[in-house]
């Protein structure tokens, strides 16, 4: 039995940032997520790739207890995404999305993934996200991410699946687009009125805003000198967040806040190199050291009112 199930894309990305350009590098929401989450728990991936996908390039994940039995190899080409960033690295501009094998994909959750405790519906067609919820038994929490492509192309299907999840993890612009509210507080409340009990808003270099029925929590992003490529930062955040939750086994308010910090620590590594490269070679000591440095940035003594 696996603890954490993810459905999403495995992709070849072509990316341009002010600091360089790469073509057909490994990417996809499920891959960035798993690369991060697998430091904390065992993960099972449900995804599809085309015959052009080099499975050997992700074989290193097996050493981190990732189960790949749910990856289907279909006729056709792997999903491809082309994006570009200007000096404002918070804003990805999609140049091209080629759905390819995603278009006819029907995700089948392998029998021994169906009782996973935690489910992450990474960025993929909301119809496929719903189809995965139909197949899992009694997860402790189902968490969903999405992006503007699906908000614009499958808005009603997306609202339908959001109603069925526990936590929505989404970026700031997308929360505004879905909820049609400028205020994050109003937007999150609107989403929570439809079903989820918690909304986690990713704000790029400005950190994370979280709201649940009890409280609001804010975390900054770790201040890096150099950000090289932000692609996958959101999924890497979600991987640290969900990996930590699966490792703890609950979604209590204290766990959620710690999970946000762990997600932020993991995302800070992802942006230091293109593709999955930085996190592929990461080790636990580096995670611990970055966590300590992060904690020092946000700790302060109680203010005295004299
Ligand atoms: P993010 O964490 O938001 O930067 O996610 C980046 C990853 O999402 C890239 O590696 C892309 O391959 C993948 N991606 C881009 N567009 C889509 C889409 N419409 N559906 C699913 N995955 C996508």
Of 110, 218, 126, the residue nearest 164 (C-alpha): 126
Q: Which of 49, 67, 162, 160 has its CA nearest to residue 116? A: 67
Residue 268's domain comprises 4-298
- Residues with CB under 6 Å of ligand 1 are 9, 11, 13, 27-29, 32, 81, 97, 123-124, 147, 149, 231-235
Q: What is the domain-level CATH number for residue 108?
A: 3.40.1190.20
Domain-embedded: residue 192: yes
Q: How many domains does the chain have?
A: 1
**Cα(29) to centroid(ligand 1), Å:** 5
| Residues 141 and 251 sit within 8 Å (Cβ to Cβ) | yes
Decide if 241 is inside a domain: yes
Q: What is the mean pLDDT of residues 62-72?
A: 96
Question: Which region among 40-44, 86-90, 121-125 has the lowest average model confidence (pLDDT)?
Answer: 86-90
Cα of 2 to ligand 1 centre, how many Å?
A: 24
Is 305 domain-assigned?
no
Residue 252 in domain: yes
* 50 phi and psi angles, rounded to 5 deg: -90, 175
**Residue 304 falls inside a structural domain:** no
> Is residue 73 situated within a structural domain?
yes
pTM (predicted TM-score):
0.96
Specify the residue with its C-alpha closest to ligand 1, atom 20.
124
In terms of C-beta distances under 8 Å and separation of at least 24 residues, what long-range contacts does 85-92 make, across chains too? 85/15, 85/16, 85/17, 85/18, 85/229, 85/230, 86/18, 87/18, 89/17, 89/204, 89/205, 89/227, 89/230, 89/271, 90/203, 90/204, 90/205, 90/206, 90/230, 91/173, 92/230, 92/231
Q: How are strands ordered across the β-sheet holding 20-27?
A: 20-27, 11-17, 79-85, 92-98
* pLDDT classification of 43: cutoffs 50, 70, 90: very high
Confidence of residue 88 (pLDDT cuts 50, 70, 90): confident
Per the CB < 8 A criterion, the answer to whether 221 and 195 are in contact is no
Please report which confidence band the pLDDT of residue 4 belongs to, taking 50, 70 and 90 as the band edges.
very high
Burial class of residue 68 (count of CB atoms within 10 Å of its CB; 0-12, 13-18, 19+) = middle
- N-terminal to C-terminal alpha carbon distance within the chain: 57
Ligand 1 atom nearest to CA at 237:
2
| Mean pLDDT to the nearest integer, 225-231 | 92
Query: Is residue 306 a part of any domain in this protein?
Result: no
């Amino acid at each position: 039995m696996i603890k954490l199930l993810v459905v999403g894309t495995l992709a070849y990305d072509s990316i341009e940032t002010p600091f360089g350009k790469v073509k057909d590098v490994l990417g996809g929401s499920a891959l960035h997520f798993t690369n991060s989450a697998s430091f904390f728990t065992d993960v099972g991936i449900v995804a599809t790739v085309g015959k052009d996908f080099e499975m050997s390039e992700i074989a290193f994940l097996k050493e981190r207890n990732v189960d790949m039995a749910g990856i289907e190899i279909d006729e056709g080409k792997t999903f491809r995404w082309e994006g570009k960033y200007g000096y404002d690295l918070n804003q990805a501009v999609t140049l091209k999305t080629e759905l390819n094998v995603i278009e006819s994909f029907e995700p089948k959750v392998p029998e021994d993934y169906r009782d996973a405790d935690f489910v992450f519906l990474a960025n993929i067609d909301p119809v496929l996200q719903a189809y995965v919820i139909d197949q899992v038994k009694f997860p402790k929490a189902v968490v969903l991410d999405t992006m503007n492509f699906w908000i614009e192309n499958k808005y009603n299907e997306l609202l339908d699946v959001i109603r069925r999840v526990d936590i929505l993890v989404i970026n700031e612009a997308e929360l505004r687009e879905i909820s049609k509210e400028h205020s994050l507080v109003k937007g999150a409340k609107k989403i929570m009125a439809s079903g989820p009990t918690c909304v986690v808003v990713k704000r790029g270099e400005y950190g994370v805003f979280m709201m649940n029925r009890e409280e609001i929590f804010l975390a900054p992003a770790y201040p890096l000198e150099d950000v090289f490529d932000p692609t996958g930062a959101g999924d890497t955040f979600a991987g640290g967040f969900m990996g930590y939750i699966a490792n703890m086994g609950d979604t209590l308010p204290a766990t959620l806040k710690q999970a946000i910090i762990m997600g932020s620590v993991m995302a800070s590594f992802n942006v230091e190199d293109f593709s999955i490269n930085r996190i592929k070679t990461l080790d636990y000591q580096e995670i611990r050291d970055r966590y300590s440095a992060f904690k020092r940035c946000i700790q302060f003594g109680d203010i005295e009112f004299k």
